[in-house]
Structure 1
């Protein structure tokens, strides 16, 4: 897995590069703050392996739990109360308590509920954000927007790069974070626990699927904190998570997101919290992979998996899993567990890596990682030049040098593919990265 691009070193390097990009992007933005989220922020996926998630947080507005003194919040920040009365755990309704400088996306999503009170509709808010997304597209011209998926606004750039844009509002919910922080645990260390608490929370515009009021409900999320937690997993834990995601995508193959990688993430987080860290080492990788599969099977069988940050919320509730699919997946996962170590041979990437000759495998690994590193360096260099010069195509020696090396790699890959009988090296190159 290290040779395939999932080792500890490249994982840490990816995290640093995406953080650097966020800093450059936020230097240009005023009304929102951008943060790379999901697997890219965690360094767990290669360049084109999955969508790139962006969390776009509105500046100048915050939502707070009841009981928080508004005088502690600067007067130029608009404040919403979080009302969780009668809503599914982990969700809330936002009531406007102190307007300041409200963005149009918020003004146009406010609804009167009587007695002079206003609430913020999640559905109207995301509709407004879909109109704003063209304004804050990070300079990505020619992007194609797709139908929204939950709180996400997906788009594709040049038919190759896929993004999920999620607009959000910062959230102060100290009681929820306190309950999480004081739980007895083996992991993470107390200093990481305090950092997660300090990172706070967000609310995103999506309600509980089976709620009659889902159009006005918001979901409480801890994206920054969860990224910090994932970045503190050791190499074995990270690889177990990656293998589980491959199994989900290649073997289980949910068609309507009955199970998502987020379910697997929570299985890994519970596994880490309840187990001494010394138990996770290279020789125990397959043991913990099977433990994760057993956790997934139990979640499917019982339709129950507690959300790591808010255990009262069941991640399997309203997942759309019917009985026939449930029985089939239980059988499939049981078979995988009974296969023992051979379960990894069902994964195409692992099979190809095992049967490949050593020299081509090393060449593939070295070249693919170099190309990814070049792209991320170019991404940050271009963003830095835009900040300094206010232009997109700024003459820059390093950008030219990087692009020249990228072209050399493209030609090298195409030539090698042609020599090995590939009729369309361009297509293979896309798969390669």
Structure 2
């Protein structure tokens, strides 16, 4: 039921007059300038979809590549955060209990999910039938369940990836849950190897909920995209090494991309609060938790109430919902409400009290709370004209890089591809423009390295220094932001 999520107003209840409407509208405009507007988000989304198509074509039907997370949502710049990828094997399918398997092609290996003794949203996978071909990674991960049946071990499955020979320039990092993080040149990539999961009853229950959002067409699209299982169990479970987690990455991408502009900006601001204010060190609260809070808020409230002049109202609602999740250590998963996203978080009593007090202070501060977010604060105190000028160049630079990456994925050679050559020329022109502007503003550009990476690495010290200097912040403000 929808009321398992966060609801502060009864269905149909008219909200009180929105407060801080002017501040909401100005913050929304500012976020457009910083690259969170609908046009820029859509351009990023389309670029990563194109890249996924190129990557999938490269492996020729063996697997499907799917970008997930903030990149698929169009919410982060090229080098701003990790690239989250799903690598889905095509010759294996997992079926929910009671689903008829007779129509599955004989080439496909079938596993049957067993969730009766697993935590909600998780299952074990029992081998039902070998296909004509079976991936080596799947075969090597099979073990005996104690009753002579084949059981697919999530631990064995994912750990095989640690022994794969990597290309030159790629560095393997320590496993993180179901993902194998790698550094590839300038990019931090988290790759999760997953399997298709056909679960009509779970998706039917989700689709049947009473809701204000999303529309019936979007609900049908989410259902049609199905689900996956990723190789990770519940921490502390007796069956953790052989448990798999149900996930709905493609459906969630569609849901986020169908939020309206104010709902997306609420999501961005709550992610900033999580990262820059709460600063969790052990994933006690994650961006995924924040995403689910926003999805519940969107589902439980009339769509017409989300507009640019109500942004701060919904930010207070989001902070309240985050406070409740931290206080109770409960946050239902939007797709499967029985799964508690806070169940295994390493949140101790003192940290919980501290975070609750911080959120209470933010709510009391009103619109001034936005100054706690470094990226927003920098933009607010900047001169409007330099901010627009620099942000425009940075956004253009990002689009040039995304187009270049997709041309490269298509196998285009820079020596023969005139488009690649034009992209590189324009990149150099933008770098030169920014350098000249910085010199005119009185900056000593030679004090630090500056190129296109500096413009796109939004969390990098070089970028912070470049951005602050260019926006003519005072030396006192520069040092306070740097700290």
Please give the TM-score of this superposition, normalised by the length of structure 2: 0.85
The secondary structure found in structure 2 opposite 1:215 is helix
- Do the aligned residues in 2 keep the contact of 1:414 with 1:429 (CA within 8 Å)? no
The secondary structure found in structure 2 opposite 1:379 is helix
Determine the structure 2 residue equivalent to 1:286: 312
2:422 pairs with 1:396: no
Determine the structure 1 residue equivalent to 2:300: 274
2:94 pairs with 1:73: no
Residue 178 (structure 2) aligned to one of 128, 133, 151: 151
Distance in 2 between residues matched to 1:287 and 1:148, nearest whole Å = 39
2:61 pairs with 1:28: no
Give 1:187-226 correspondences, 5 Å limit: 187-226=213-252
Determine the structure 2 residue equivalent to 1:124: 156
Determine the structure 2 residue equivalent to 1:137: none
Q: CA deviation at 1:394?
A: 6.4
Output one character per residue of 1:162-219: Cα deviation in whole Å (capped at 9) or x when no partner. Answer: 1110100000011110110000000000010010000000000000012121010000
198-207 or 408-417, larger mean C-alpha shift:
408-417
Distance in 2 between residues matched to 1:314 and 1:370, nearest whole Å = 41
Output one character per residue of 1:299-337: Cα deviation in whole Å (capped at 9) or x when no partner. Answer: 000111100000000000011111010000000011011
Q: CA deviation at 1:395?
A: 2.2
- Do the aligned residues in 2 keep the contact of 1:52 with 1:163 (CA within 8 Å)? yes
- Do the aligned residues in 1 keep the contact of 2:68 with 2:253 (CA within 8 Å)? yes
- Do the aligned residues in 1 keep the contact of 2:126 with 2:152 (CA within 8 Å)? yes
Determine the structure 1 residue equivalent to 2:345: 319
2:40 pairs with 1:13: no
Classify 1:294/1:151 alpha carbon distance in 2 versus 1 (closer, same or farther; 3 Å): same
RMSD: 1.5
Output one character per residue of 1:104-162: Cα deviation in whole Å (capped at 9) or x when no partner. Answer: 1011110012443110000000011333473xxxxx7411111010001111122x311
Output one character per residue of 1:234-280: Cα deviation in whole Å (capped at 9) or x when no partner. Answer: 00000010011111111100001000000000000000000010000
| Number of residue equivalences | 422
Higher relative contact order (CA 8 A, sep 6+): 2
Distance in 1 between residues matched to 2:314 and 2:352, nearest whole Å = 23
Distance in 2 between residues matched to 1:350 and 1:429, nearest whole Å = 22
Classify 1:282/1:292 alpha carbon distance in 2 versus 1 (closer, same or farther; 3 Å): same
Distance in 1 between residues matched to 2:339 and 2:449, nearest whole Å = 46
Q: CA deviation at 1:16?
A: 0.9
2:420 pairs with 1:420: no
Q: CA deviation at 1:423?
A: 4.5
Residue 260 (structure 1) aligned to one of 286, 292, 311: 286
The secondary structure found in structure 2 opposite 1:87 is coil
Determine the structure 1 residue equivalent to 2:7: none
Determine the structure 2 residue equivalent to 1:339: 365
Classify 1:180/1:6 alpha carbon distance in 2 versus 1 (closer, same or farther; 3 Å): same
Give 1:344-363 correspondences, 5 Å limit: 344-363=370-389
- Do the aligned residues in 2 keep the contact of 1:414 with 1:426 (CA within 8 Å)? no
Identify unmatched segments of 5+ residues in structure 2: 1-30, 457-483
2:403 pairs with 1:369: no
267-276 or 413-422, larger mean C-alpha shift:
413-422
Identify unmatched segments of 5+ residues in structure 1: 135-139, 387-391
Distance in 2 between residues matched to 1:424 and 1:218, nearest whole Å = 50
Residue 38 (structure 1) aligned to one of 51, 69, 74: 69
Q: CA deviation at 1:427?
A: 5.2
Determine the structure 2 residue equivalent to 1:389: none
